[in-house]
Structure formats: C-alpha cells, structure tokens
Amino acid sequence: MFVYPPVPEHILDEIRSCTVAVVIGHIGPDGDCIHSQIAMQKMLQSLGVEAHLVNAGPFNRKEISQYEPLFASHVDKQLKERNPLVVMVDCSTLDRIGYLSSEIEGLTILTVDHHSSGTPFGDFAYIVPKSYSTTLCIMQLCKAFEVEITEEIANHLFFGFATDTGFFKFIGPYRGETFNLVGELINKGVSPNEIYLQMDGGKTLSSRKFLAKLLERSESHLQGRLMIVIETEQDIAEFGDAERPSDELYANLLGVEGVQAVLYFKIDSPDVWEVGFRSSHFSSLDVGKISSEFGGGGHRKAAGATISSPLQPLKSTLIKTIASHLKA
C-alpha cells in the first residue's frame, strides 16, 4: 500500500523560520488549486505566519468563484520587499502562474504539488506524484507540524481531493490509504454530499447547450481511439468562457467505447490554444508526458498546455503525437 513520504526536515525548517508568506496557484485555477492555496494559508496562519493568497485567475469555474475576493491578483512591491517565502501549490512548471512569475523573481520558492510531469523549479519541493490531489499533500504538512485540522481546513482538503478524483471515480486499486485520509476529514465534519452538490449542482441551461454543441462537433480519430473537440470564437461569444462544460465533456467522450484519449481545444486568442488532454483509465497513455512535449504538464490521465500555433498544423501534430504514443 502506498505511504506518503515524510516532509523533508529542511522544508519544515524553512517554514518554521518564515514570518511572511505568499501562497500562489496556477492560472485558470480549479478546485484543487484554490482549496490547496486556502488550506496552506490556514496552516501557515496556525503557525503564526502572515500568509497572503495570490492568483492571476480567471476564476471561471462556478464552484470556486465565491473565493475570488480572498485573492490578490498581484504580489505588490511592498509585500515583495519584505522577502516573503513563496509557496506555490498545484503547479508543475513556473510559467503556470502567468505574469506572477516575474513578480516573485528573486524570492525563495517552496513547491507543493502532485503532478507527475513538468520542469523542476524553485528552492524546495514536496512533490508526491502518487497523491490524488495537492490538498492531500498539504494534509501531510499539517500532520508534520501537528497543526489541528479544523472542520474548515478539512472541507478545503476534501474539496480539492474531490475535484481531482472526479469525486472518487479516478481512484485505482490498492489505495486504501487515500480512503483512510478521507475518513479522517469526514470525521472532522466534512459532508461529502454537500460538497458534491457544490461541485455538480446549479448548472445553467446555457452550459448544457454549450455541452450539446461541443458533443455534436466532436471528431473521432485513430480508429475511434482519439476524440477531438475544437471550440470556436462564436462559442465564446454566445456562451462565454465561464460556461465551458470541460469536466462533463471529458466524462462523456471518455465513456465512448474504445476511446483512449480526448483533446479539447479551448480558444485563448487568435492562433493561441489552451489544449486539455485526458486519457481513459484503461489506457496506458501518459498525457502528462505528452503535454510536456508542448510546454505543458499535468498527470498521467489529465494535463494541459497553452500552445501558439495555427489550428490545422497543431491539430495534425497532436494527432500524430498521440498515434505514436499509442503504438509505443
């Protein structure tokens, strides 16, 4: 059975010596990112650290939009001059925080993450690729410092975990330790059914119509093993990027018989695409590795990359890349 590695003593010492910290997460944050940031802030505050939350956004996902007021969008000059410890969570590469990377230049960086691919960066790192979420890595930090996991912290830890496991759907065999950790959180007062409603309830009719349009437009490639969906400027004009039904789109297409991978091309600007990579649980495809070939990163089963290229050459290149990995 998997056992989380102990947090290295030099990381504990760095946090013990810290008086001011900035907790940063990736652009376009999801539930694991935002709740990792907040849980880390609460842990640091319990240790007497003045901790600030910063994220470049945008906070487009409905389930996290309520937390946007807690976050600054920049590391201001006065804060940087105090030489804070930068704690970066849920980031596999430095560029995942966007313009904030230039604002923290020269500061000490501690990375807490669970992605299996990416480019190493920073001064200290606690990275556990086998962890199902970054929040469960932060739970190990709480335990290492003997910080009380309050009901509030437990809710943040569980929400991030639930986000990255599709509410338990992505957990494989021989991972009983994960359920032990989740059991501890539930015993702190977490209500799984309430969090499920926060994650999956309250969808708008507009988002359902957007999903229907994307599914209708989906393309089958490589003898049905690869599905591709391409968003248009007209989609965003009609529905808005806040209505993107990404999770439901992946779930629907990965449920099609024989499909091993799904690529979702989200339009960022002309000839700039945010490509989401997903692979099925029966597939050996490591989309984290594939996305890293295009400057991105992520997990074996879920990853992303922002790529500057005209659509058709990029689409052809990605199909060929997926095909080569399927043959390997």
Q: How confident is the model at residue 243 (pLDDT cuts 50, 70, 90)?
A: confident
CB atoms within 10 A of CB 130: 13
User: Could you give phi then psi for residue 51, rounded to 5 degrees?
Assistant: -120, 130
Q: Residue 118 above 80 pLDDT?
A: no
DSSP code for 6: P
Q: Residue 132 above 70 pLDDT?
A: yes
For residue 323, give the amino acid letter.
A
For residue 234, give the amino acid letter.
Q
Please tell me the least confidently modeled range out of 60-64, 158-162, 234-238: 60-64
- In which residue are the tokens 């799984």 written? 192
Q: How confident is the model at residue 298 (pLDDT cuts 50, 70, 90)?
A: confident
Q: Where do the domains of the chain lie, and which CATH numbers do they carry?
A: 9-198 (3.90.1640.10), 205-327 (3.10.310.30)
The whole-number average pLDDT for the span 49-68 is 94
pLDDT for res 242: 81
Q: Residue 72 above 70 pLDDT?
A: yes
Q: How confident is the model at residue 169 (pLDDT cuts 50, 70, 90)?
A: confident
CB atoms within 10 A of CB 248: 17
Q: What is the pLDDT of residues 184-210, one digit of tens each?
A: 999 999 999 999 999 887 788 999 999
The secondary structure of 232-267 as a DSSP string is -HHHHHHH-GGG--HHHHHHHHHTSTT--EEEEEEE
The whole-number average pLDDT for the span 49-72 is 94
Q: Give the chain's mean pLDDT.
A: 94
User: Could you give phi then psi for residue 298, rounded to 5 degrees?
Assistant: 150, -150
For residue 86, give the amino acid letter.
V
pLDDT for res 328: 63
Instruction: Please report, rounded to a whole number, the percentage of residues in the chain having pLDDT higher than 70.
Output: 100
Q: Residue 66 above 90 pLDDT?
A: yes
